[in-house]
Amino acid sequence: MAKKKPLSIKKPTLNKTLGFAKGNKPSKSGLVPDGDTRLVCNVRADLHKKLKHAAVDEETTIGQIVESMIDKHL
């Protein structure tokens, strides 16, 4: 008898959850919305943790916080 693969369920991200709540269609993972550019950078683990907590507290995404900070400081 063949072994069955275990069921894998991923926890949705805050961004997908907020988008779903606003009525947006879920997008395929890895796609960048029109007009946006993907930004990848390294940050210390403690700063990343603070950023994630801030995003949850403000009910927004890390990307939106980073965009706001860039707009304020550049």
- Residue 11 in any domain: the answer is no
- Residue 53 domain-assigned? yes
Closest CA to 70 of 32, 37, 45: 37
Average pLDDT, the chain: 83
In a domain, 6, yes or no: no
Convert the pLDDT of each residue in 54-63 to its tens digit: 999 999 999 9
Residue 55 lies in a domain: yes
Overall domain count for the chain: 1
Q: Are 61 and 14 in contact (CB under 8 A)?
A: yes
Range of the domain at 68: 42-74
In a domain, 52, yes or no: yes
Is residue 72, in this structure, part of any structural domain at all?
yes
Checking if the pLDDT of 14 tops 80, the result is: no
How is residue 64 written in tokens?
A: 């939106």
Question: What pLDDT is attached to residue 25?
Answer: 60
pLDDT digits (tens, 9 = 90+) for 23-54: 666 556 668 888 888 899 999 999 999 999 99
Q: pTM higher than 0.95 for the full model?
A: no
46's tokens: 């403690």
How far is the C-alpha of 55 from the C-alpha of 2, rounded, in Å?
44
